[in-house]
Amino acid sequence: MSFTGKYELQSQENFEPFMRALGLPEDKIQKGKDLKSISEIVQDGKKFTVTVTTGSEVIKNQFTIGEESEIQMLNGEKTKVVVQMEGNNRLVTEVKGMKSVTELNGDTITYTMTMGDLTLKRVSKRI
């Protein structure tokens, strides 16, 4: 199953408390909570390029399944991660005490990030 495509954010749960826990300033949280973000994913075998555009802000990450890569997190911080694939439709990684799962089901991507007892869930549809 290929992740390649463009996806538009449809819904999100716990955005504000999760971003506060990440240390984002309140003005950025308020600005970002109502913006529709577009994720563009290009998959070439085990190599991925993920570009997320939210308003005027663009975050672009590249990684290869099973290899250490540097990514930019939602709060702008750069960190090293190893992304694993479970089955043919789940990308899983752990970074700084957070577990991130990206799951593709048909034309829907569900992105779940868990930190302690706080979970951010974002659902995007292919456009």
Instruction: Return the SS3 of 97.
Output: coil
* Helix (H) or strand (E) segment spanning residue 31: helix 26-33
Identify the CATH class of 5-126. mainly beta
pLDDT at 36 over 90: no
What CA–CA distance (Å, rounded) separates 48 from 29?
Answer: 27
The pTM is what?
A: 0.90
What b/e string do you get for 6-36 counting C-beta neighbours within 10 Å, with b at 16 or more? ebebeebeebeebbeebebeeeebeebeeee
pLDDT digits (tens, 9 = 90+) for 45-99: 999 999 999 888 899 999 999 999 999 987 788 999 999 999 999 999 998 889 9
Residue 34 CB partners (closer than 8 Å, separation 6+): none
Spans of all domains in the chain: 5-126
